[in-house]
Structure 1
């Protein structure tokens, strides 16, 4: 008889950047030099607390309280959680922020809403309904908006409620000198603000 396998809420301390590889959805394919997973792991592990480019986004003294690589957040519908590259609890001044961090080098943000929501199943409708509600959207965003940015931002809001933080943030930690895919992020931020 098979036992039900459940997810644990116990996290093992990191032994360095290579510890992050085990948490990837596809460890062999995603752990490559020059790609976001490995680049992000090395950057965050080598920082003394928050990487400077992230710390500069916050006012006052800033402190990384907790960082969880490849943190999964359950969403309605579908059979996959939103797997965030990093979930961080960040203290700045007298406030706390729940932040999901999406690392990017040159990889795209995945399918557009139009591609992901074409001929949607009931599960996808349920998920889109939840995402639109969390993001205070009255309707499904335009088809060119990247779906990944929606569910990563929703993850930050869900975790902010769960941890009762003062703020939530979805941060794209880009390592692209050419600012690849910035336009997709800007379109999402403009549409969902």
Structure 2
């Protein structure tokens, strides 16, 4: 167990650099989790997501369907951290993917879900906010083109995952950004949270379909909910 623990710490330190090691299969993803021993469990999103993406050797079909043209995976980085203003905690995205469709490229953050909620609401996270939280909220609202702090029932995680995609789209100079929820829940748990998030932008959400808008900044943003194959929950 000591050797395994040391290996996980080494791999997490490697993940903080700009050098990435090719995956040897789904098990390679475990080391990059915030809590590898706790989060790597059969029936949960981290493990299901890893098996799904590795088995497809490219874009899972349900992710490819989020685009209005044949889509190709150029690069996928599990547990990709994106720095955000305010505080010292990055947004750790389940998958960051560079995707090509037609003559366009997209920087996409993928949020894996089964039964796990999207974390605290804006009202919970922003209750009695510190200076750092105020700075972060201003940063997120600016990136998302929001004129005011979202209603208290909106899930904070959906805000910073989408902001991560926008930040990385600028960094890689892609044509658009995307935030896609990759859900393996048979009951589509927490879909209503996604619906309410899209309403911030005047959009209607439908499962297995993407909505596209252009933000005030001029950035094009794609938002979608993709239903994953629940067979991966048994892996």
Bin for the TM-score computed over the shorter chain: over 0.9
SS of 2:177's equivalent in the other structure is: strand
Task: Name segments (4+ residues, structure 1) moved above 4 Å.
Answer: none
Partner in structure 1 of residue 147 of structure 2 = 138
Alignment of 1:24-35 (within 5 A): 24-35=33-44
- Per the TM alignment, residue 58 of structure 1 is displaced from its structure 2 partner at its CA by 1.1
Query: 1:161 corresponds to which residue?
Result: 170
**Structure 1 residue 60, shift from structure 2 partner:** 2.2
User: Which residue of the partner structure matches residue 31 of structure 2?
Assistant: 22
Secondary structure class of the residue paired with 2:48: helix
Residue 56 (1) aligns with residue 65 (2) = yes
The normalised TM-score by structure 2 is 0.79
Q: Secondary structure of the equivalent of 1:179? A: coil
Task: Note the residue ranges of structure 1 that are not aligned, 5 or more in a row.
Answer: none
Give 2:54's aligned residue.
45
Counterpart secondary structure, 1:86? strand
Show the counterpart of 2:195: 186
The match for 2:126 is: 117
1:140: Cα distance to partner?
A: 0.5
Q: 1:97 is paired with a residue of what secondary structure? A: strand
Query: How far apart, CA to CA, are the structure 2 residues paired with 1:26 and 1:129?
Result: 29
**CA–CA distance in structure 2, aligned partners of residues 164 and 80 of structure 1:** 24
Which residue number in structure 1 is paired with residue 7 of structure 2?
none
- RMSD across aligned C-alpha pairs, in angstroms? 1.1
Residue 57 of structure 1: how far off its partner (Å): 1.2
TM-score (norm 1): 0.96
CA–CA separation in structure 2 for the residues paired with 1:138 and 1:60:
33
| Structure 2 runs not aligned, ≥5 long | 1-12, 203-235
Supply the distance in 2 between the matched residues of 1:143 and 1:108 (Cα, whole angstroms).
Answer: 16
Given the alignment of the two structures, is residue 92 of structure 1 paired with residue 101 of structure 2, yes or no? yes
Alpha-carbon distance, 1:50 to partner = 0.2
2:116 pairs with 1:107: yes
> Which secondary structure state, in structure 2, belongs to the residue aligned with residue 119 of structure 1?
coil
- Aligned counterparts of 1:40 and 1:13: Cα–Cα separation in 2: 17
CA–CA separation in structure 2 for the residues paired with 1:66 and 1:19: 16
Length, aligned pairs only: 189
Q: CA deviation at 1:192?
A: 3.5
Distance 2:31 2:47 in 1: 11
